[in-house]
Structure 1
Amino acid sequence: MAEKGFRLPGSGYEELLNIILAYGTRDGASNPGDVGKLDPAHQASATRNNAFLTGIGVLEGGEKKLVTDRGRALARSLWRGTPEEARRQWREVVSTDEFLQNIVSAVKLRNGMSRAALLAYIANAARVPRNNPTMSGAAAVVEILKASGLLREDEGRLVASFGEPPVPDDDLLPEDSPGTPDGELHISVSPADSPRPDAPAEVSESIQPDAARGPEARVVIQVQVRCTADEVEELGPKLRKLLKDISGPLA
């Protein structure tokens, strides 16, 4: 990190969102959006956040700040987009900022951190004193990383996450779905914040009677594999063995 440190947000997360929305939704798509046109209330708040928003690519320019295409896309996703669109736009922001990426890595390496510990870590990493404005800005960073899906709450701790939502039960293919052959195996591999090599596969099965041939077992199996990124290469042999074990005749 640079010796000068990182410029944290100058306000809380909600106020930061209001500033982004004011910047990015004010003008037409062809106009970059002159921040100087904002009302005095937003201007005062913007002054405290300009350095941060410029650093993460939402604003650009010197004394006269303009909204970037990335900033406008983020604002639109926050204003009218779906939660998934907003998450994707925040991820785009995080993916180009080394400081924010390092925060996620720090949480990952520690297998999670308490909120207080993470706020203190962010302040130290940014090389700023721990006062109320600083901790408010650190809290805004945490909320940004949560909004991006890269951090999540887990039993009172913040843990790193790849933002993959769990598969709900109603997403399992129904037994009579067209094009779903009997005994078809669906495998979904998603990296996890901590390895769970002993986690059992989740299997859903049902029996659907056939009027012509009598009762016949019809099984739809969905396997979710939780692993770290380093373990992905080792999955091939394990999955092949799993396929071989379950592809035999049903008892």
Structure 2
Amino acid sequence: MAEEGFRLPGSGYGELVNIIVAYGTRDGASDPADIGRLDPQASAARNNAFLTGIGVLRGGDKKLVTDRGRALARSLWSGTPDEARRRWREIVPTDGFLQDIVAAVKLRDGMSRHALLAYIANAARVPRNKPTMSGAAAVIEILKASGLLKEDEDRLVASFEEPAVPDHDLPGNPRNEPGGEVGLSPSPSDDEQAEVSESVSVDAPGGVEARVVIQVQVRCTTDEVDGLGPRLRKLLDDLSGRPG
């Protein structure tokens, strides 16, 4: 049996926002109720699978808005663009498909809108028809609203700013405390792209062992991929003090 594809939005971004707002800001949407009472049922039904997949909704036939979905809805309804951006950025990192789209744009150093629409449809494993392309366009607008993609002349490029981390994913130990992790994340340059991380144990004062996590981003062409692995491994060996 063929693997089921990703459920894209069933309408454009503007209509999708209206449905999210209907679920999250009106009194009727605070209960496990049919959104058809609030907005045209067919329109909501086309988007329920997507909204459930990204954690805005939960439940079976009777959908409930999640706490994260309600916060997003309120920011879209009455918040500032910065607040809406922050709420979208809490959602995007929790969905592998949306993360993969951002990664694809990064790896290609930007894509035209037409190419990205086609890529999203192919990645979702759905036919390229009008509803599909509307849904793909909605995904692009979500990623733009989150600040993870931006327009650069006639291309869409990825922002290298780190997305927001959901509160429940934050580490228990503060940074720079004994037993915690000290993150070193250099700003990406034109020669960087793929991420590599390595943990290195060092002796800290008082006999406490501190762990330093170093992240390296490497950008290369397809012709350079074959020789990339040994060079990265040598770099990690040098950082950790292991013999080559």
TM-score by length of 2: 0.65
Q: Shift in Å at residue 34 of structure 1?
A: 3.1
- Structure of greater Rg: 1
Q: How far apart, CA to CA, are the structure 2 residues paired with 1:56 and 1:138?
A: 15
The aligned amino acid for 1:12 is G
The 3 A distance-change label for structure 1 pair 83 and 41 is: closer
In the alignment, residue 146 of structure 2 is paired with which amino acid?
A: S
Return the offset for 1:94: 0.3
Other structure's SS at 2:122 match: helix
Q: Structure 1 counterpart of 2:16, which letter? A: L
Aligned to 2:78: 80
The Cα of 1:27 is off from its aligned counterpart by 2.3
RMSD across aligned C-alpha pairs, in angstroms? 2.4
Question: Which residue identity is paired with 2:132?
Answer: T
Gap regions ≥5 residues in structure 2: 163-184, 193-214, 219-244
Aligned pairs for 1:152-231 (under 5 A) are: 152-162=150-160, 191=187, 195=190, 230=217
**Pairing 1:27–2:27 present:** yes
What pairs with 1:32-51 in structure 2 (closer than 5 Å)? 32-36=30-34, 38-39=36-37, 41-51=39-49
How far apart are the structure 1 equivalents of 2:52 and 2:20? 11
Whichever residue aligns with residue 56 of structure 1, its letter is: I
Aligned to 2:40, the other structure's residue is in SS state helix
SS state at 2:20 partner: helix
Aligned twin of 1:202:
none
Q: Does 1:60 align with 2:58?
A: yes
Give the deviation of 1:8 after TM superposition. Answer: 0.1
Distance change in 2, residues 1:37/1:113 (3 Å): closer
1:78–1:131 CA distance, 2 compared to 1 (3 A) = same
Q: Which amino acid aligns with 1:4?
A: E
Which residue, 133, 136, 154 being the options, matches 1:135? Answer: 133
> How far is the alpha carbon of 1:229 from its aligned partner?
5.9
Instruction: Tell me, in whole angstroms, the C-alpha distance in 1 between the residues paired with 2:186 and 2:151.
Output: 18
TM-score, normalised to structure 1's length? 0.63
* 1:97 matched to 2:95: yes
Query: Unpaired runs of 5+ in structure 1?
Result: 165-188, 198-227, 232-251
Q: Shift in Å at residue 64 of structure 1? A: 1.0
User: Which of the numbers 108, 122, 125 marks the counterpart of 2:123?
Assistant: 125
Q: Which runs of 4+ in 1 moved over 6 A?
A: none
Letter in 1 for 2:78: R
* Residue 14 (str. 1) matches residue 14 (str. 2): yes
* Counterpart residue type for residue 230 of structure 1: Q
Tell me: CA distance 1:122–1:62, structure 2 relative to 1, closer, same or farther (3 Å): same
Identity %: 74
What is the rounded CA distance, in whole Å, between the counterparts of 1:107 and 1:147 in structure 2? 16
Shift of 1:53: 0.3
Match of 1:247 in 2: none
Q: Does the Cα contact within 8 Å between 1:22 and 1:38 map onto a contact in 2? A: no
Measured against aligned partners, the alpha-carbon deviations of 1:148-181 in whole angstroms (never above 9, x if no partner) come to: 00000001100001359xxxxxxxxxxxxxxxxx
Give the Å deviation of 1:137. 0.2
How far residue 106 of structure 1 moved from its aligned partner, in angstroms, is 0.2
What CA distance in whole angstroms lies between the structure 2 residues aligned with 1:32 and 1:118? Answer: 36
The 1:14–1:155 alpha-carbon spacing in structure 2 relative to 1, beyond 3 Å, is same
Cα distance in 2, alignment partners of residues 151 and 82 from structure 1: 19
Name the residue aligned to 1:204: none
User: How far apart, in 1, do the equivalents of 2:133 and 2:96 lie?
Assistant: 20
| 2:105 corresponds to which of 93, 104, 107 | 107
